[in-house]
Structure 1
């Protein structure tokens, strides 16, 4: 099983500036490479403290590429309704060249906040699939005339071509919809998911649809299923769970200001969505084929329930023994080919706590699934992080550290 590091900032600007968050995150990118994590991932979000520090995955991942040598760079994902495919293909290809072929290209649906760009949430399913196909065509090096339901352009030849040929691995957000997962499988793409509130039954419904469609279309292998999780890890269970509860409650409050939520968080569906022409979350059909289908028994209303989220395996929290057991359950749900993209630094927690959690995970959790010991942090970067951890704060970025670490997260 494979593990990577995910950055989805839920940060109140009054508590942490953007520059401090970026400095801390890029130090954690260096640490992730030293500890053998397989990838670093970030996405694209606008207009809210929940995700708003991540408006451009290409820019962040370019900075990450400059400070690393081995680790994969996952755009998780570029939100296709927000830009034209010619622009998206060119920017992703640029990153792939700058990193010498380390890009995994992800494409996502819009959320209700796509209304900020004049794209209603109901219209966001077609563009994500069309955009992925358009980018693949543009990466071919041939002259392209594209005729889709939404995008029509050409003749045009894409420049630059990506470093990886014929193109980087493509991931598509499944968005908790069996229909979207099946379409990703039929096209031979890999899949990105968030923790589903429907538990084992819903997880197996989504991955089953994906893998069945992939096999039916004749694609080799089962494909990769990448699931994003927040991970709170420490040696003292009570202290760690208290920090996790506070952190998740903080995220839920920020999410409440961003419109509809998922999982154990239930948004106020009557809340007006800024920039969406007076629409509310209730106006967005999250059960449409290609959008969000949370399984039987899901309803909106209420608030965030951390205990329910933890029991439902929507968040990882506790000691190394606790988290190992949680991951064993998750792996059984999603099956072979699944990998976890772990957020250790939601942004509001002390930087040193994220450092300690990553080191603890690499040393005491990952080897149970990868059969490889984690390397110890090395180099100037590790020293800078140790000093920052002792102070409980971020600070400037450290050095690049040692050479590429032995991958503790090689697929088992």
Structure 2
């Protein structure tokens, strides 16, 4: 197994200034770089305290790349539907060059109705724009005189500069929350995968990963797949204090997520089947059950190590855990200590934990 950091800001100005949050992310990224973590991943969201401090992952990842030497920088994920493919492909190619080939590109569809409304993008076009956007970025990175006749992104012929540092292009990941269909499409195309266990059962996620792996093999892609699974981790020697923090900041996350997904109570989209149930699912959140189900990592190094071992049994030893150590407004000292403690006491239990991708 390998391990990386993920940054998903679930906080707003009343809890911590944006500049402070970015400074703390940079410090944790530098620490992770020296401690052997594989990647740093950054989300894309807008407007609210549910991710709103991260409207452009590329900007923060560029700063992280400049402040580090080895660790990979990963979008987790950028949203093609919200950015013209020429602009998106160009920004990502620049970051790949600035980082000297340390970029992994995760693409996602987004799912919050307010974000689609603000960009004037119909949710009914989400799936189409996603597939077309990913393919156009790939073509702009690898081809000359690219022409697109898609109504939402018609252009050409154009030849992109700069070309990516990595050839033929940076590794492509597809983010999926609950859709086995999205996982199958990613496998068929030979892309890598980013998933979250939060709103999916263990069995559901196992089925998604099995589908992905099988379809990828059947499509003849020989390169080993890279699968990133995102978790939040609260770690320390004082178990009672760690669990108190975990309960507080996980409820903060649920509070922020509840507000962000509330419009799904009155929204329906064929591109998002079942998402109308999100409000009810989030309302049923139970921290103790989430901890018991290994949807959140919390406890002493030994306890968290046992959780990781169970996750490896469930989902495969080839997966990479992308871990959030600074949820909400958790004090930086606690996040810093957890990053170190995980690297020193948890990761060594897993043979390939600190082996970088080459």
TM tier, smaller: over 0.9
In the other structure, the counterpart of 2:238 is 236
Question: 1:239 deviation in Å?
Answer: 1.2
Once residues 69 and 356 of structure 2 are traced to their aligned partners in structure 1, the CA distance between those partners, rounded to angstroms, is 16
Is 1:223–2:207 an aligned residue pair? Answer: no
* 1:276-355 matches, cutoff 5 A: 280-285=264-269, 291=272, 300=281, 302-355=283-336
Once residues 289 and 77 of structure 2 are traced to their aligned partners in structure 1, the CA distance between those partners, rounded to angstroms, is 27
SS at match of 1:164: coil
CA contact (8 A) 1:21 1:347 kept: no
CA contact (8 A) 1:229 1:342 kept: yes
CA contact (8 A) 2:148 2:156 kept: yes
CA contact (8 A) 1:10 1:254 kept: yes
Once residues 186 and 151 of structure 1 are traced to their aligned partners in structure 2, the CA distance between those partners, rounded to angstroms, is 24
- Alignment partner for residue 349 of structure 2, among 362, 368, 373? 368
Once residues 274 and 206 of structure 2 are traced to their aligned partners in structure 1, the CA distance between those partners, rounded to angstroms, is 13
**Residues 89 and 75 from structure 1, CA distance in 2 versus in 1: closer, same or farther, beyond 3 angstroms?**
same
In the other structure, the counterpart of 2:69 is 69
Residues 139-185 of structure 1 deviation map (CA, whole Å, 9 limit, x = unaligned): 01411113457543321111211110100000011222000000000
* 1:255-270 matches, cutoff 5 A: 255-259=257-261
Once residues 304 and 77 of structure 2 are traced to their aligned partners in structure 1, the CA distance between those partners, rounded to angstroms, is 26
Unpaired runs of at least 5, structure 2: none
**Residues 94 and 115 from structure 1, CA distance in 2 versus in 1: closer, same or farther, beyond 3 angstroms?**
same
SS at match of 1:192: strand
* 1:152-191 matches, cutoff 5 A: 152-191=154-193
Unpaired runs of at least 5, structure 1: 260-270, 274-279, 373-407
Question: 1:282 deviation in Å?
Answer: 3.9
SS at match of 1:257: helix
In the other structure, the counterpart of 1:393 is none
SS at match of 1:142: coil
Which sits farther off after the overlay, 64-73 or 150-159?
150-159
SS at match of 1:370: coil
SS at match of 2:222: coil
CA contact (8 A) 2:195 2:230 kept: yes
Once residues 265 and 80 of structure 2 are traced to their aligned partners in structure 1, the CA distance between those partners, rounded to angstroms, is 20
CA contact (8 A) 1:81 1:127 kept: yes
Which sits farther off after the overlay, 84-93 or 146-155?
146-155
Question: 1:293 deviation in Å?
Answer: 6.2
Once residues 101 and 256 of structure 2 are traced to their aligned partners in structure 1, the CA distance between those partners, rounded to angstroms, is 35
Question: 1:13 deviation in Å?
Answer: 1.1
Residues 78-121 of structure 1 deviation map (CA, whole Å, 9 limit, x = unaligned): 11111111110000000001111110011101212322212233
- Alignment partner for residue 201 of structure 1, among 185, 200, 203? 203
CA contact (8 A) 1:174 1:191 kept: yes
**Residues 52 and 331 from structure 1, CA distance in 2 versus in 1: closer, same or farther, beyond 3 angstroms?**
same
Once residues 296 and 124 of structure 2 are traced to their aligned partners in structure 1, the CA distance between those partners, rounded to angstroms, is 28
TM-score (norm: length of structure 2): 0.93
